[in-house]
Amino acid sequence: EVQLVQSGAEVKKPGESLKISCKGSGYNFPKYWIGWVRQMPGKGLEWMGIVYPDDSDTRYSPSFRGQVTISADKTINTAYLQWNSLKASDTAIYYCARGSLSQLDYWGQGTLVTVSS
């Protein structure tokens, strides 16, 4: 069974750093892209970027390039989304999903990130 399990909810202060994770199981993790999607409170889905774990090829949405870092460690079947300096506007649920630029077929349960002073 394909599963993506994300790390737990986080509460951070503005300016702090954060790295959240997404662990895949039940399939050949290195050979499938992992995408990250943001959903701000009460809003729609936003594409952030995607990483291919086998060679760490990474593509960013123009809206998120320079704001976050997407990475993966194929040795432990885990993808990451990282911030160096959080802002209140980063408060959102972040989803990882397996797939490609065309489709995302399996999704993680989401990680709620709350940034508040």
By beta-carbon proximity to other proteins, the closer residue of 16 and 105 is 105
- Residue 103 engages other proteins in binding (rule: CB under 8 A): yes
Residue 62 vs 66, nearer CB to other proteins: 62
109 binds other proteins (CB under 8 A): yes
* CA–CA gap between residue 67 and residue 73 (Å, rounded): 20
- Contact mark string toward other proteins, 23..62, x via CB under 8 A: ------------x-x------xxxx--x--------x-xx
Q: Does 108 sit near other proteins (CB under 8 A)?
A: yes
Please tell me the distance from the alpha carbon of residue 6 to that of residue 84, in angstroms, as a whole number: 19
